[in-house]
Amino acid sequence: MKSKWYLFIFVGAILFMAIYFNYFHKSNEDLIKEQCIDCEKFEEIKKTNWILVSKSDGLSNIWDIDSKSFALSNWYSAVYDDGIFYDDITFTINGEVIIVSDVNYKILKEKKDDYFNEIIQEKNLQKQEENTSNCSNCGNRFTGRGYGFAHGEVAPVEYPYTGNYCSSSCAQQGKNKNDAEWDNISEKYGIDVNSSNNSYSEDPEGYHMENDGRVYENDKCELCRGTGIEKGQNIISGKVEGRICPMCEGKGVRSY
């Protein structure tokens, strides 16, 4: 009778050990496949207790060996790079590329999906800052292309450029200021920039010699267009600035 009990106890112990070993000594891949049938790629991530798991559709998640569960709530497009000097995981989320380096693995483990949400929110704020400008007239920040000048008139600025003014009224005020400053420049150098009677011949071809012994082109100077003053708009202040034309030395025509 005792031998039968010994046999029963022995068989029971063997069964218990088999069940215990099977439950507690399953491989990580077996545990993962119990929760994800179509998972087919497994990459151990250095310096962590993580495995980057990829499904047949290309989306990936992080398996936490300690908790025997997936660390992230959602699945993402991800690529693991185990470099010589560093390693990282590159996630692509709604078109945004987020690179998580090994120094940030701990933060990702703590914040999980919120880590991505915070980075994407920060990137969106940066984009908004990049798409805003300061109005050169009122100083307020504005989005969009803004307003500027086209052929001397106030006009909306078209892609890919951005104007210096937030509205047509600010642009008109800016134009009035620029015109006044340009008039001061003209008065300073004694040249009527609005006059077509500058020192160049109506005949656009050839050369002629004047009393000073220098040879002058008949055509007006290409740089200042015959005004003798090169003018341009300062890209920072939006103001019109002028200087004596370096090509014709303020004469309106080039000489030799």
Tell me, yes or no, whether 86 and 49 share the same domain: yes
Provide the domain limits for residue 99.
27-128
List pLDDT tens digits, range 108-162: 999 999 999 999 998 888 777 767 888 888 989 888 888 887 767 888 888 777 8
Tell me, yes or no, whether 184 and 204 share the same domain: no
Token output for 11: 């068989």
Residue 202: the pLDDT is: 44
Task: Write down which residue in 164, 190, 216 finishes a domain.
Answer: 190
* Beta bridge partner(s), residue 92: 77, 97
List pLDDT tens digits, range 22-80: 544 468 888 899 889 999 999 999 889 999 999 999 999 999 999 999 999 999 999 99
Tell me, yes or no, whether 35 and 109 share the same domain: yes
Tell me, yes or no, whether 252 and 185 share the same domain: no
- With contact defined as beta carbons under 8 Å apart, do 89 and 80 qualify? yes
| Number of other CB atoms surrounding residue 186 within 10 Å | 19
- With contact defined as beta carbons under 8 Å apart, do 138 and 146 qualify? no
Tell me, yes or no, whether 228 and 144 share the same domain: no
Q: Element (H or E) spanning 116, and its range? A: helix 113-130
This prediction has a pTM of 0.48
Residue 190: the pLDDT is: 58
Question: Of 207, 219, 211, 212, which is closest to residue 252 (Cα–Cα)?
Answer: 219
**Predicted confidence (pLDDT) at residue 182 exceeds the cutoff of 90:** no
List pLDDT tens digits, range 188-225: 655 555 554 444 444 445 666 666 667 777 788 887 77
Tell me, yes or no, whether 185 and 199 share the same domain: no
More confident position, 158 or 241 = 158
Residue 79: the pLDDT is: 94
